[in-house]
Structure 1
Amino acid sequence: MESFNFKSSTRIILGKDSFKDVGKYIKPHSSKILLHYEGELIKKLGIYDSVVTSLEENEIEFVELSGVVPNPRLSLVKKGIDICIENDVDFILAIGGGSVIDSSKAISLGVPYNGDVWDFFTGKAEPTKSLKVGVVLTIPGAGSEMSESSIITREDDSTKAVCDTEFNIPEFAILDPQVCYSIPTKLMCCGIVDILSHLMERYFSPTENIELSDSLIEAAMRTIVKLGPKYLENPKDYNTCAEIMWTSTVAHNGMIACGRIADWSSHRIEHEISAIYDLNHGAGMAAIFPAWLKYVKEFNPKKIESFSKNVFNCENGIEALEKFFKSLGLATTLKELNIPEDCFEYMAKKALGSRETMGNYVKLNAKDIINILEIAMGGRKI
């Protein structure tokens, strides 16, 4: 087991209509906030009106910034920073999924910083403070509601980058499983893929003597594999949606992975695809992760055997994983997603950045990444 330093200070409030009390969780921290969200969805769901009512009841002023899109944009982050500074805002409420939460985190980092907030995403600078962020979660999957991560896309060169810092950890997160009822089924299924991907990135680790952590991750993966069909059978089952939401949070809050080194190469590869082609991240992971597994399967056959047996109760877990993704109605090849092959070398170069290799389970160079992309295309067998 590796040494670790784990911190999590997020209050989780899960329950029916829990977002109607959001004002009381903000009041101890602020009397003027930025309300940050996607667009019209939260208004159609009735979340917006309930949140505004709660803010007014708790005498909390707010300014709004909507327009967040999947793969959240740096330009909107900078706009949010300006709004916060101009209006003397000291707290941000994110209403949405991972894109809104990540955008809110980036804004919170940028407000007290004198330079370009992008510095934190390139490693040029390290955050030393931030505004506090609260979350009303509407789409489970990203796990950003309790994590230290923020992922932002710079439009100028289609670069997607991550900033990991404890200053990103939200103050609270409100999870109402009922909001899942109105989310398009495909979007929920993409979220399910994302949850499983977060778990697999941590499961396939070079670290030894991590039996507790292995068992926790395997249990979470089994749970998601079981919940997928149950969700499709009844998308409005409260308990199914509640378990998906909670598993999503647990999968990415860091605790389940304490003491082990995660891989993250599949995520880095997919980030280049979604940054260039504006693809939903979960949809991309459904094609990339099985391809990565096929490419590295001989590195540690015992780990693949454990994955197959303990998660899918079968002999070929990679094949079972693909079938699971297909059962959710998702594509498992880049060809099905209409991703062309002519950018593979460019993607590999961007994924590596200034490094010669990436990944921890298996070190991948540019040629390795291209090979994985070719497998994900669906034409190359291995």
Structure 2
Amino acid sequence: MVITGEDSGSGTALLLAAAPVGKGRLVDAASVLPALAAVPPSVLTGTSAPTVVELADPVDAQTVLTRIRTAAATPGPLALYLAGQLHLDHKQHRLHLALARTTPATLRYTALPWHWLAGELQKRRPGTTTAVVDLVADTDAWQQLHHDGLTLGHGIRLYGRLAPPPPRRSTITPAYLKACTDVWRSGTRPPLAQLHEHAATQAGPGDALLLAADDTPTTVATPQQQAPIPPRPTAHPAAPDAGGDPHPAILAAARAGRHREAAAIAATWESEALRTYGPGSQQAIHWLEVRADLARLAGDTPRSCELWMEAATARLDRQQQTTNNPDVEAAVDRAHHQWEHLPDPDRARALAPALITLRRRVPGRQRAALRLLQQRFEQLHTR
């Protein structure tokens, strides 16, 4: 949808940068707006007939809500680019996006409740909304988000960075969004998942990152620990012996460098999913994708490429050959990305025909992807 190609219809981009004026400011949110505004509007929306709405340090939550509601009601894709800071309401324990006049004492009356934003976006058709965020959380909000993650609801793609509070009396810059704009202004149009990885790296060490997700709460990790394990399916397979949610244990093992242990846990759950739900089920495909990303984290690029191709094929079969499904496109994009980083030319030549076949079925949003893949394959044969 966004930044990966151009649709023929209309689309809307909402640029929202907000932070309190004065000592309560944790992020210089509005500093990223000039760079975002310099990006071609068609890139921000992914459409040929774009509309861009910009809100810089707004002061009234109702005004912001009205703009969001209007943007959410427009036809075509909607892209939300959001820079700001999150605070926790101690009475209702709900997240709020701080606005220009927000103070700790007036949070509930001067900030935008996060669930207002999510509620308006939830009225849209699933798969038509993308949010790219660069946020910093205060201490209380950070503790909650670190435990529960962040979401905008089902069917909304969410990418970006969530940073912990900076040292006292200092502010941070929206480095994640700035990295995105630098790429777009250079003329490059990478798939969103690939751009996310680049921007996450450029955001700098010590920052916490939001893992790319479609509709589930994201997991927080430092750049060195980042492990974008695919979103969890709605229903989990029956738990093997010890039970519970295995994702934290898998992530912990991967972060600690215990890659064999992480892969073994995932393989166990995949086997259970196959027995319970059968090959080609959403649950089985989920665990296949988890293993694909664990292979990437372990530095086994060829295996990661193979598993992502297998996942893409399984999703194609499950979707009855629907090639424009975001999950299918994401799987092919990730396989392609891993293939481009294969260190062994012989292995790259061996995997290329299957990847080219997938690319012909799923061209993706980057129009030149298939052509570039074929060109590199031809170059490998000349070495």
TM-score (normalizing by structure 2): 0.31
**Higher fraction of helix:** 1
Greater strand share, structure number? 2
Greater relative contact order, per chain length (Cα 8 Å cut-off, separation 6+): 1
